[in-house]
Structure 1
Amino acid sequence: MNKRKSIFRAIASCTLSAMMLISAGCGKSQSAGGPGGQGGQGGPPPKIAVITKQQLSFWDDVRKGAEDAGNELGAQILYTVATSDNDYVSQVAAIKEAIAADAKAIVIAPNSQTELNSAFDEAVAKGIKIVNINSKVNDYGKIDSFIRSSDIDGGAVAARNVAKILENKGVDYEKLGKIAIVGHTASTAEERIEGFISVLTSYASQKIKKPTITETDPDKMREAEEAAEAEYNSKLEKFSKSFIQGNRVAERDKAKEEAFNLLKEDGNGISIMFATNTNTTLGVCDAVSELKLDDKIIVVGFNSDEEELSFIRKGTLDGTVVQNPYMMGYVGVRYAKRLIEGTSVTCDLDIGATFVNGSNMNDEYIQLLLYPDKF
């Protein structure tokens, strides 16, 4: 645990210091010890509520980071987890419980962009500071700070590694089959998909070659160039139409069903499958494994549940985009404590993402990301 804390603390300190230098301050209390708490000057430890999305190992790691920061900084952590990534009802209840418990700050990964607003208003009226982690509350303007791994960048990381796999396999982009996407119901899915499609399409534009022009007659050269450009654009358009998407789903079994529907419809015409969170990744892997398509379809997912790692070892899952949930919880509580004390914090902090596959999953830093409680 000491090794884990020292490494992550060093990373967090560097990240916080750098961001404080380049970013304008956000969420500063009117005065230390004013609305928001004791300012850390005597009295009982301030209470910080940490509210997460659902019962998965990702959120367990967020909790570990939050609790380590709480222990280090002398704050009492009130932890609550919802039942699924669209369960906002229990999150509303958790916010109200935090208010009743006299919490001075709330660190929350919201399950809705709008349904929590009234509860947030109640908290803000009591001087409670709000740190938003993971998925953004786009329709609420009183968030003090937003900490996350950029979802667009996460999708881009997935795409870059798919491109690397295609290159290693010597795959011709013009002969590539369909690219199926199974997304989850939270707002984070849209940006992950956007980043994935944009970057993979960019790779395709570089790999798809323009026809060679053999015309030597100057009078016909322009016509030949226009024909070559039209043919190239036609190939790019064909590639852009190769992306197919299933319905958004929240549960693993629904993701498996959606993957089955896509595979049934297109069969072996699918070359790549991209899933946007833990449950969709597991559902896609279930379907691909059951249909024995492990060696025929490139599968890339999100997050680092132990079952996802098992699918990597088995060869069903080619890799997964791993955020740093421990850091998310740790820095979230650090920011909350600063806000309670009246200190400005960064408005928007991106903690990055890492691609994990069979080649690097045993590296020390990757092991630290995957199993922070073992270090």
Structure 2
Amino acid sequence: MLLLLSISLCFTGVFTGKVLYYDHLLAERKPAQKPLLHLVLISEELDNPYWREIEKGAQRAAAEEGIALEYLGPVQADKREQIRIIDKAIASKVDGILTQGLNDKEFNPIIAEAVKQGIPVITIDSDAPSSGRIAYVGTDNYVAGYLAGTTLVQQSKGVGQVGIVTGSFTSTNQQQRVKGFMDAIDGESGIHVVQIEESNINRIQSEVIAFKIMNQHPEIDTFLGTSSLDGLGIAQMLKGKNQQARIIAFDDLPETLEFIEEGIIDASIVQQPYMMGRKSVELMVDYLAGKKIVTIFNTDANVVRKEEISRGKGDFGP
């Protein structure tokens, strides 16, 4: 209880401090200048490397547009805390909110409240099309999961016993990736998904779960990790236990690329988080300026293997 109170006070202090900083920026501007727009980017998990890349893109666009952008989020993935931070952003009367879409009964009402207060919302990375958001920026997660499935079919020649470690059973993007993967392998009689477990998008938990799956099903020869940290946890488990299995991961974090070069991760479905952050800010600025914007902007996803890294293809690493 004390820990939860401490975390809550910590977030309140951070948010209030940044709002005061924004007020300070306004005070320094001359009356004739155009008012400074104030956007908030609310992540799934504050220090998740993937979300830090989204932040980099968003901050770059904000700097170019001359607007203020705050970056906030739960210390660890926590839907209730994410929704609480969105609520505080609404209370602070920000000009726009950028956040991950949630498949949660509490998400739609909080977005409806933002809309009621005249605050537009753009979802990033994971969509919530029925929430009232004005646009979605991110990967087509079903297509990305399908790409992971076709990659396995090609590499395994249609034979494999698969264990899946997914970041969340309730996150829309994770659900769509698993669905795309399952549809891609549906016609392969030699490929079977043996077990699916949830990691709560936590690297250590991913490692523990992968070890559990391997112990319970020693016949498994393939792992799919559907979040950026899942692949790392699986790879660390196999390396630490000196066990072998094919791994298909997501994203191109530096450690992921190192594991690919070492031959521990066989392939990764690489997204464009920097572009997601950048484009979401650009769309929000256009919307606030009264311009018509697209409601869905899908960023690219592609497969990265050792040969692509060796040839220097693609955009690898931050």
TM range (shorter): 0.7 to 0.9
1:333 aligns with 2:312: no
Measured in 2, the distance between the counterparts of 1:116 and 1:131 equals 13
Correspondence for 1:62? 54
Which residue of structure 2 lines up, in the alignment, with residue 81 of structure 1?
Answer: 73
* Contact 1:129 1:144 (C-alpha < 8 Å) held by counterparts: yes
Q: 1:364 to 1:358 in 2, by over 3 A?
A: closer
Select the residue among 139, 145, 155 that pairs with 1:149: 139
Counterpart in the other structure of 1:255: 206
- Aligned partner of 1:284 in structure 2 is 234
Instruction: Tell which deviates more after alignment, 75-84 or 87-96.
Output: 87-96
CA distance in 1, matches of 2:282, 2:311: 28
Unaligned segments of structure 2, at least 5 residues? 1-31
Gaps of 5+ in 1: 1-40, 168-172, 205-235
2:272 counterpart of 1:324: yes
Instruction: Spell out, residue by residue over 1:310-364, the C-alpha distance to the aligned partner (whole angstroms, 9 max, x if none).
Output: 2212211112111100110011001111111111211112112021221112555
**What are the residue-to-residue correspondences of 1:111-260 with 2, within 5 Å?**
111-140=102-131, 142-167=132-157, 173=158, 176-185=159-168, 186-202=171-187, 204=188, 236=189, 239=190, 242-250=192-200, 251-260=202-211
Q: Secondary structure at the match of 1:246?
A: strand
- Supply the distance in 2 between the matched residues of 1:138 and 1:248 (Cα, whole angstroms): 24
1:370 lines up with 2:278 in the alignment: no
The verdict on how the C-alpha distance between 1:42 and 1:128 changes in structure 2, with shifts beyond 3 A counting, is farther
Task: State the secondary structure of the residue aligned to 2:308.
Answer: coil
- Residue 99 in 1 paired to residue 95 in 2? no
Residue in 1 aligned with 2:303? 355
Deviations 1:69-105 (A, max 9, x none): 11112221111122233x1233223223323443211
- AA aligned to 1:98 is A
Structure 1 partner of 2:257: 309
Q: Deviations over 1:280-332 (max 9, x none)?
A: 212211222223223xx211111222222222122111121111001100110
CA distance in 2, matches of 1:323, 1:277: 11
- Is 1:344 the equivalent of 2:297? no
8 Å contact from structure 1 (residues 88, 110) kept in 2? no
Structure 1 counterpart of 2:174, one-letter code? A
Contact 1:88 1:115 survives alignment (8 Å): no
- 8 Å CA contact 1:318, 1:357 repeated in 2: yes
Structure 2 CA distance for partners of 1:362 and 1:107, relative to 1, 3 Å: farther
Per-residue CA shift, 1:6-43, capped at 9, x if unaligned?
xxxxxxxxxxxxxxxxxxxxxxxxxxxxxxxxxxx952
Q: How many angstroms apart in 2 are the aligned matches of 1:364 and 1:290? A: 29
- TM-superposed CA distance for 1:143, in Å, is 0.9
- Structure 1 letter corresponding to 2:81: S
Taking structure 1 as reference, are residues 364 and 331 closer, same or farther at Cα in structure 2, changes over 3 Å only? Answer: farther
1:207 alignment partner in structure 2: none
- Matching residue's letter, 1:68: R
**CA distance in structure 1 between the aligned counterparts of 2:306 and 2:143, rounded to whole angstroms:** 21
Cα contact 1:181–1:275 (8 A) shared by 2: yes
Q: Shift of the alpha carbon at 1:138?
A: 4.9
Letter in 2 for 1:83: V
Computing the radius of gyration from Cα coordinates, the structure with the larger value is 1
- Alignment CA distance shift 1:63-1:362 (3 Å): farther
Q: SS of the residue aligned with 1:359?
A: helix
Q: Would you identify which runs of 4 or more consecutive aligned residues in structure 1 move more than 6 Å? A: none
Question: Distance in 2 between the 1:138 and 1:114 partners?
Answer: 13
Which position in structure 2 is the counterpart of 1:266? 217
Identity %: 21
Aligned to 2:19: none
| CA distance in 2: counterparts of 1:321 and 1:266, whole angstroms | 25
Partner-residue secondary structure (3-state), 2:286 = helix
The CA deviation at 1:139 is 4.7
Amino acid at match of 1:156: Y
SS in 2 for 1:307: helix
> How much has 1:65 moved relative to structure 2?
0.7
Q: Distance in 1 between matches of 2:203 and 2:239?
A: 14
Cα separation, partners in 2 of 1:83 and 1:139, compared to 1, 3 Å: farther
Higher RCO (Cα < 8 Å, 6 or more apart): 1
Q: Which residue of 2 aligns with 1:298?
A: 246
Query: CA separation of 1:88/1:147 partners in 2, compared to 1, >3 Å: closer, same or farther?
Result: same
**Alpha-carbon distance between aligned partners in 1 of 2:84 and 2:312, rounded to the nearest angstrom:** 40
CA pair 257-122 structure 1, distance change in 2 beyond 3 A: same
